[in-house]
Chains A and B, each alone.
Chain A
Amino acid sequence: AQKVTQAQTEISVVEKEDVTLDCVYETRDTTYYLFWYKQPPSGELVFLIRRNSFDEQNEISGRYSWNFQKSTSSFNFTITASQVVDSAVYFCALTAGANSKLTFGKGITLSVRP
């Protein structure tokens, strides 16, 4: 069985603060993929990043960065210099092994105040 835990449920920060969203996953498969999605108030989920289990390189995309650590089964997401437009629900998700279905965490609601 696979599982994704997003222990933080709600985070509130002031604009320009840095914020890290935590994601811990569980799987027995050696081949798996991790994803982050953003759900703005409009409702649709937007794909942000995909990382496979064989690539532990961290990734940076503008103000966004991701830290993948197999030793702690974590795939954390950091927003640098947060902006009001970053306010959304963020989901971490996992696919693994023969089961190609996405397993989602419960999501983290991020509020960025001006």
Chain B
Amino acid sequence: DGGITQSPKYLFRKEGQNVTLSCEQNLNHDAMYWYRQDPGQGLRLIYYSQIVNDFQKGDIAEGYSVSREKKESFPLTVTSAQKNPTAFYLCASSIVFDLNSPLHFGNGTRLTVT
């Protein structure tokens, strides 16, 4: 079955450590996205990538970094510069980056930093 795989489901880190969240898709989609979800805040866009080897900052990119070296992979690194990293992180993809392509989401990674 095609889909988006995020791993791990739960992640715990100490403050000051960088951590990388994995996102893999086998849908052959060009575009990929990272969202952050906080209680009562909806989803906020961190980074997105329209095609391989390209990515742009979203609305809350500070303290995060990404890479898109392969079409199917879009890992997100939460750096020590991110002031409030504890959150639920969702990866998504779409066929192309345009107005009407619905997003397909992974199951998310819940990151807790203490």
Contacts and interface: CB of A to CB of B under 8 A. Distances in A.
A35 B94 CA distance: 14
A102 B105 CA distance: 13
Interface of B: 4, 40-45, 48, 58, 88, 90, 92, 97-100, 102-108
B103 A106 contact: no
Nearest to B98: A100
Contact of A33 (B4, B99, B106, B108): B99
Interface of A: 9, 31-33, 35, 37, 42-47, 50, 52, 91, 95-96, 100-102, 104-107
B38 to A, nearest CB: 10
Contacts, number: 53
A47 B100 contact: no
Nearest to B38: A106
A35 B101 CA distance: 10
A44 B108 contact: yes
Q: Which 5 pairs between the two chains have the least Cβ-Cβ distance?
A: A106-B42, A43-B108, A45-B105, A47-B102, A104-B43
A30 to B, nearest CB: 12
Given A45-B105, A100-B97, A107-B42, 4 more contacts: A9-B40, A101-B48, A101-B58, A104-B43
Given A35-B102, A44-B107, A101-B58, A106 B97 contact: no
Contacts of A31: 99
Contacts of A46: 105
B93 to A, nearest CB: 12
